[in-house]
Amino acid sequence: MDKIRSNIMLCGGTGCIASGSLKARDALVEELKKHDLADEITVTLTGCNGFCAQGPIMIVYPEDIFYEKITSDNIPLLVEEHFVKGRPVEKFMYKEPEKKSAVPIMNEIPFFKHQVLRALRNKGLIDPEKIEEYIARDGYMAAAKALTEMTPGDIVEVMKDSGLRGRGGAGFPTGLKWEFCARSQGNLKYILCNGDEGDPGAFMDRSVMEADPHVVLEGMIIAAKAIGASRGYIYVRAEYPLAVERLQKAIDQANEYGLLGENILGTGFNLDIELYLGAGAFVCGEETALMRSIEGKRGMPIPRPPFPAQKGLWEKPTVLNNVETYANIPQIILNGADWFKSLGTEKSTGTKVFALTGAVNNIGLIEVPMGIPLRTIIFDIGGGIKKGRIFKAVQLGGPSGGCIPEDHLETPVTYEDIMNTGAIVGSGGMVVMDDSNCMVNVARFFLDFTTDESCGKCSPCRIGTKVMKDKLVDITEGRGKEEDIELLEDLAHDIISTSLCGLGQTAPNPVLTTIKYFRQEYEEHIRQGWCKAGVCTKLSTFYIDEEACKGCTLCARSCPQQAITGEKKKPHHINQELCIKCRTCYEKCKFGAVKVGPVNMFEKKDKEVKV
Amino acid sequence: MSGNVLVVDDEPVVLKSCDRILTPEGFTVKGASSVKEAMGLLQNGDFDIVITDLKMPEMGGIDLIRWIKEQNPATGIVVITGYPSQETIKDALHLGIIDYLPKPFSPALLIDVASKAVSFVKSKGVEEIKTEEHDVSEKANEIKNVIDTNRNRPGGLIPVLQQIQEILGYLPPAVLRLIARGLNIPVSEVHGVVSFYSFFTMKPKGKHNIRVCLGTACYVKRSSEILAKLKDLLGIEEQEITEDKKFSLETVRCLGACGLAPVVVVDHDIHGAVDPVKVSEMIREYD
Amino acid sequence: MAKLTIDDLKKIKEEYKEKTHLREGGYRVKITVHMGTCGLAAGSREIMDSLLDEIQKANVTDIIVTTSGCAGLCSREPMVTIEMMGEPPVKYGDLTDEKIRKIFREHVLEGKIVEEYAIVRGCETSY
């Protein structure tokens, strides 16, 4: 073996592959060969780095240099400069928004600086398809410890003491769940992993499964020992082909190495794990529905009790944990409960991974200690709102969550505090919205989702959400009535208290939180026929503010209807008869001169003139 | 001719002679001397045809035929009878047997009847999955294989549907019937599962399948406009296919590539940060 | 592949740590080989090879090697800069295969600067 002097880690997550990282990898290998560097510099395709919007991402070790948006075209210059001549290339480095200077070192980039990596500790540092690289970073050491030095009771105690709570949404204490199942009688028990990441706007679990598939297996081995399970399934969304591929490879490798199967590590412990592909039903994220789906049936929830810990998959005692929960477990076993509790708050310990998306500058996957204020996440890590826009709300918890406004941004991210705002931590989707988003429309979007995904078993969810959605459609299309807001609130509370499963019980949250914090917007829609964000096209009129317009002609050039007229350097004008309200001018204008008025603003004017 | 044959008769000599005649012809032959034994063998094995006597002590051949039609209707049945009284044969024919052998029969007749019955059973499977839109019979073996390997797997229905949809691109009704028969579950249940999960589709897809992500991050970045543009451009609605069968359009609830929002996936290519204005250019690449 | 025991697991861990340690951060010595046009012409490529060979032989993992462009003293190429943690960097010039191996053993491994080949102590650093 030749001495390796440098490792190039190129991100091979779904996002970066879509942006061209595979081509860049091929070009890179080719170029290194050309310069006769292939023996001393390695190229590794890693899992998701997290900073997806800047992809493809490349990190060069040992210098720790971070490059973004690396395409195959950039490779010759990069290799020549960095690897032959040793001059890191500023052109490809990250630049802070509104600042010109490049930030070369990964951990100095604000996006990464505030993060603490635990569940994602191997992200970007290992080749997910090589079990040895996982082992090199203490992989399977926790499983070895659990299998040889600990009794099931010891493991449950450590988990309970750590305070780890389910990262999939509900936040139920993991150790407690294991204890219930460990106490259940039965010679066959199942350990399941929920990788059916259904919340739109969330991709934490995809990232873990792609970047570090073995950590999921190791977590499952430890859990299996704790509850006495001998068979396991990982339920993954079929929409995540790369995660499926990497997990299957990981399972095959672990079987080959005797880390799964019979007599694991020579300890006499047996565990078989199989992959099971979901088929696209949001409700299958609910545990009883997921189990029905593995049984090959329609994924419909069943009432609890009996709880899965007593009667789960095929009526056998079963524990289901989410991917991120498993990713935390090996480190807890190795470092102890106190280490885990050293971060976070008393009731919400450790770290949590969030998918930060939407109107922020830095989009991607982040892991932060629990208890960090929302503001730090959005404005320090996320780099604030894109230029010229104003923060309006952050949506947490997907269709089960809610929208949190500006004056609650100091709220620390813990299960309890977020719950008090009306949202939930959920699985970790965090979508930031600016003033170009209409909150009534956002509520409609989520109800659209839940009505579509309701399994139809219980009527409060099946019919109730449909009625709510129809009301919201009415409001966004100008048919709203004054009493609709109260009706929505009323119905929401009924659905929450009478639905069978978590999907229905949380479905009204997006509506309730938007009414709570943005009631004025609902009223504007109903009373004035005005969607100030210009999203509900039936409730908006686009016009140009003559004083703000600089006559740059950009809007006129981009209008697909040629509805905008005006001379250069003179105020432009929108012909309302031609306007299709596509918002193009509104988004293109650099001076904020395109404004949104109520739907009947010109009719009114006419009337006023007449009067 | 190859095929799995089960012979059921209470006279050992009949079992023996059938074995001696059919095995050299390439058939795999098993014998059962009672209906009970036959049921046991049928539960654990896969037989193309069953050749059964009608008059036997305890349970008779008609009971066996009824049981087979319930358990695995795809199995072909041939009846042997020494008493070809019109009534019993009528009963048997009513239950859907393929043919019958009057006792005593010549080796040539046995071979002829068995061969015809086996090829009838095999062709029936293939014939049935010729669908309205496509002739998928060339994939018939692949499909049969998927069903066979998952037959005894608990919860095997969804993986079977996934694999067959991967092969055919969609799940035509004829294939659903075939799966139901192969896995021994009611067609209604198969249909129930197919219609429950959004991943499954009973409509064929275009040469290029376009999926527009409607997840929150994409919604916030106006993927609905992209969808509207695509509908307009292709002249189809969601879940539809263009007349020239080139494109089909679907929506998905988040592909987990939120960093690239809004996202459109064409076949296996992910297009990130899609500009509604440039959608037509993107589609042209595939035209 | 045979089934692993816990000892095998530890062995794999040690073996692969060797290959991946560069990513872990934290190193004792950083050696920069100047590989501008002048350096390459003067033979810095061979110096790099000798250096990597020595590191391999010494089986140490706390040393990182990087390259940089011209150090601005073209007449003294091939050159390397050696930075021990917490000490000012030292530049060596007019290197040969023999000299770099000696520098590696004495300076990098034992901490004694090889005065006779050293050009300068302490200067600019680069990332």
pLDDT at A293 > cutoff 80: yes
pLDDT at A2 > cutoff 70: no
Residue C72's pLDDT band (cuts 50, 70, 90): low
DSSP A556: H
pLDDT at residue C127, rounded to an integer: 36
CA C21 from centroid of its chain's CA atoms:
15
Q: Among all chains, which residue has been given the structure tokens 């399972």?
A: A251
Q: Considering only CA atoms, which of A246, A537, A297, A189 is closest in space to residue B188?
A: A297
pLDDT at A607 > cutoff 60: no
Q: Give the β-pairing of B3-8 and B27-32.
A: parallel
pLDDT at residue C112, rounded to an integer: 82
The mean pLDDT value for A130-156 works out to 94
DSSP B96: T
pLDDT at residue B280, rounded to an integer: 85
B contact chains, 3+ CB pairs < 8 A: A
DSSP E strand stretches across A230-291: 231-236, 261-264, 269-277
Mean pLDDT of chain C: 79
Domain boundary among A293, A313, A341: A341
Same domain, A321 and A450: no
Assigned token pair, A117: 């990596």
* CA distance linking residue A202 with residue A194, whole number of Å: 14
**Which residues in chain A are closer than 8 Å to C45, comparing Cβ atoms?**
36
Question: Worst-scoring range by mean pLDDT, C15-24, C40-49, C86-95?
Answer: C15-24
The residues facing A354 across adjacent strands are: A366
pLDDT at residue C49, rounded to an integer: 86
Burial A442-478 (b: 16+ CB within 10 A, else e): bbbbbbbbbbbbbbebbebbeebbeebbebbebbbeb
Nearest CB to C35 within list A61, A84, A265? A84
| CATH superfamily of this structure's domain C26-121 | Glutaredoxin (3.40.30.10)
| Residue A558: CATH number of its domain | 3.30.70.20
Residue A123 in domain? no
Same domain, A334 and A366: no
Same domain, A17 and A105: yes
**Other CB atoms within 10 Å distance of the CB of residue A435:** 15
**Other CB atoms within 10 Å distance of the CB of residue A490:** 11
**Which residues in chain C are closer than 8 Å to A84, comparing Cβ atoms?**
35, 40, 67
**Which residues in chain A are closer than 8 Å to B193, comparing Cβ atoms?**
296-298
| pLDDT tens-digit readout, A327-361 | 999 999 999 999 999 999 999 999 999 999 888 98
Structure-model confidence comparison of residues B172 and B103, the more confident one: B172
Question: Worst-scoring range by mean pLDDT, A211-215, A533-537, B5-9, C29-33?
Answer: C29-33
Assigned token pair, B106: 């010549």
pLDDT at residue C71, rounded to an integer: 63
Mean pLDDT of chain A: 90
Answer yes or no: do A64 and C25 touch at CB < 8 A. Answer: yes
Query: What SS3 class is residue B26?
Result: coil
Which residues does C contribute to its contact with A (CB < 8 Å)? 1-6, 9, 12-13, 15-17, 19-20, 22-23, 25, 27, 32-36, 40, 45, 48, 52-53, 55-56, 64-69, 127
Nearest CB to A359 within list B200, B220, B258? B220
Q: Which of B147, B196, B202 to mutate to test the interface with A (most CBs of A within 10 A)?
A: B196
Answer yes or no: do C19 and A4 touch at CB < 8 A. Answer: yes
Mean pLDDT of chain B: 84
Q: Which amino acid is at A62?
A: P
The residues facing A391 across adjacent strands are: A434
CB-based contact A93:A78 (threshold 8 Å): no
Q: From A107, which residue of chain C is nearest by alpha-carbon distance?
A: C25
Domain ranges, ordered by start, for chain C: 26-121
* CA distance linking residue B74 with residue B68, whole number of Å: 9
pLDDT at residue B85, rounded to an integer: 65
Q: Considering only CA atoms, which of A429, A404, A425 is closest in space to residue A518?
A: A404
Residue B102's pLDDT band (cuts 50, 70, 90): confident
Nearest CB to A201 within list B159, B192, B258? B258
Residue A119 in domain? no
pLDDT at A108 > cutoff 50: yes
Question: Worst-scoring range by mean pLDDT, A47-61, A181-195, A269-283, C61-75?
Answer: C61-75
CA A7 from centroid of its chain's CA atoms:
29
Q: From B276, which residue of chain A is nearest by alpha-carbon distance?
A: A584
* CA distance linking residue B209 with residue B250, whole number of Å: 8
The mean pLDDT value for A275-289 works out to 90
Answer yes or no: do B196 and A299 touch at CB < 8 A. Answer: yes
The mean pLDDT value for A433-444 works out to 93
pLDDT at residue B84, rounded to an integer: 62
Residue A609's pLDDT band (cuts 50, 70, 90): very low
CB-based contact B75:B46 (threshold 8 Å): no
The mean pLDDT value for A2-11 works out to 83
pLDDT at A245 > cutoff 90: yes
The residues facing A194 across adjacent strands are: A235, A322
CA A116 from centroid of its chain's CA atoms:
17
| pLDDT tens-digit readout, A64-96 | 889 999 999 999 999 988 888 777 888 898 887
Same domain, A144 and A234: yes
DSSP B135: B
Residue A222 in domain? yes
Task: Give backbone dihedrals phi and psi of A388, rounded to 5 degrees, phi first.
Answer: 80, 0
Using H for helix, E for strand and C for coil, what is the string for A119-179? CCCCCCCCCCCCHHHHHHCCCCHHHHHHHHHCCHHHHHHHHHHHCCECCCCCCCEHHHHHH
pLDDT at A610 > cutoff 50: no
pLDDT at residue B53, rounded to an integer: 87
The mean pLDDT value for A298-304 works out to 90
Assigned token pair, A433: 């919205």
- Helix ranges (DSSP H) in A529-611: 554-558, 584-588, 601-610
Same domain, A520 and A546: no
What are the percentages of helix, strand and coil residues in chain A, rounded to 5? 45, 15, 40
CA distance A428 to chain C (A): 28
Residue B284's pLDDT band (cuts 50, 70, 90): confident
User: Highest mean pLDDT: which of A311-315, C93-97, C98-102?
Assistant: A311-315
**Which residues in chain A are closer than 8 Å to C6, comparing Cβ atoms?**
144, 148, 265-266
Structure-model confidence comparison of residues B125 and B66, the more confident one: B66
Same domain, A418 and A450: no
Residue A373's pLDDT band (cuts 50, 70, 90): very high
Q: Give the β-pairing of C118-121 and C90-92.
A: antiparallel
CA A167 from centroid of its chain's CA atoms:
12
Residue C69's pLDDT band (cuts 50, 70, 90): low
pLDDT at C21 > cutoff 60: yes
CB distance from A80 to chain C under 8 Å? no
pLDDT at A223 > cutoff 50: yes
* CA distance linking residue A28 with residue B185, whole number of Å: 53
Q: Give Cβ neighbours of residue B98 (< 8 Å, ≥ 6 apart).
A: B49, B76, B77, B78, B116, B117, B120, B121
B71, HSE (Cβ side, Cα atoms, 13 Å)? 19
Same domain, A209 and A299: yes
Same domain, A304 and A185: yes
Same domain, A335 and A357: no
> How many CB pairs below 8 A link A and C?
107
Query: What SS3 class is residue B249?
Result: strand
Number of structural domains (chain A) is: 5
Same domain, A286 and A198: yes
Q: Give the β-pairing of C29-34 and C80-84.
A: antiparallel
Residue A27 in domain? yes
| pLDDT tens-digit readout, A388-423 | 789 999 999 989 999 999 999 999 999 999 999 999
- ipTM score assigned to the predicted complex: 0.83
* CA distance linking residue B65 with residue A241, whole number of Å: 45
pLDDT at residue C26, rounded to an integer: 67
The mean pLDDT value for A165-184 works out to 92
Task: Give backbone dihedrals phi and psi of B241, rounded to 5 degrees, phi first.
Answer: -130, 140
Structure-model confidence comparison of residues A277 and A103, the more confident one: A277
The mean pLDDT value for A106-131 works out to 86
Q: Among all chains, which residue has been given the structure tokens 């295969």?
A: C97
| pLDDT tens-digit readout, A553-570 | 999 988 888 899 988 888
Domain boundary among A434, A455, A476: A434
Answer yes or no: do A202 and B197 touch at CB < 8 A. Answer: no
CB-based contact A383:A361 (threshold 8 Å): yes
pTM higher than 0.95 for the full model? no
Answer yes or no: do A126 and C20 touch at CB < 8 A. Answer: yes
Question: Worst-scoring range by mean pLDDT, A140-149, B74-83, B173-182?
Answer: B74-83
| Residue A24: CATH number of its domain | 3.40.30.10
User: Highest mean pLDDT: which of A281-285, A288-292, B151-155?
Assistant: A288-292
Q: How far apart are the first and last CA of chain B?
A: 47
**Which residues in chain C are closer than 8 Å to A128, comparing Cβ atoms?**
none
Domain span at residue A82 reads 6-109
Same domain, A258 and A311: yes
Same domain, A148 and A293: yes
Residue A534 in domain? no
Residue B181's pLDDT band (cuts 50, 70, 90): confident
pLDDT at residue C63, rounded to an integer: 82
DSSP E strand stretches across B193-266: 208-213, 240-241, 247-252, 264-266
**Which residues in chain C are closer than 8 Å to A265, comparing Cβ atoms?**
3-6, 9
Q: How far is CA B78 from CA A422, B48, B109, in A?
A: 69, 11, 12
Assigned token pair, B104: 């005593």
Answer yes or no: do B197 and A52 touch at CB < 8 A. Answer: no
The mean pLDDT value for C5-30 works out to 80
Using H for helix, E for strand and C for coil, what is the string for chain C? CCCCCHHHHHHHHHHHHHHHHHHHCCCCEEEEEECCHHHHHHCHHHHHHHHHHHHHHHCCCCEEEEEECCCCCHHHCCCEEEEECCCCCEEECCCCHHHHHHHHHHHHHCCCCCCCCEEEECCCCCC
CA distance A156 to chain B (A): 30
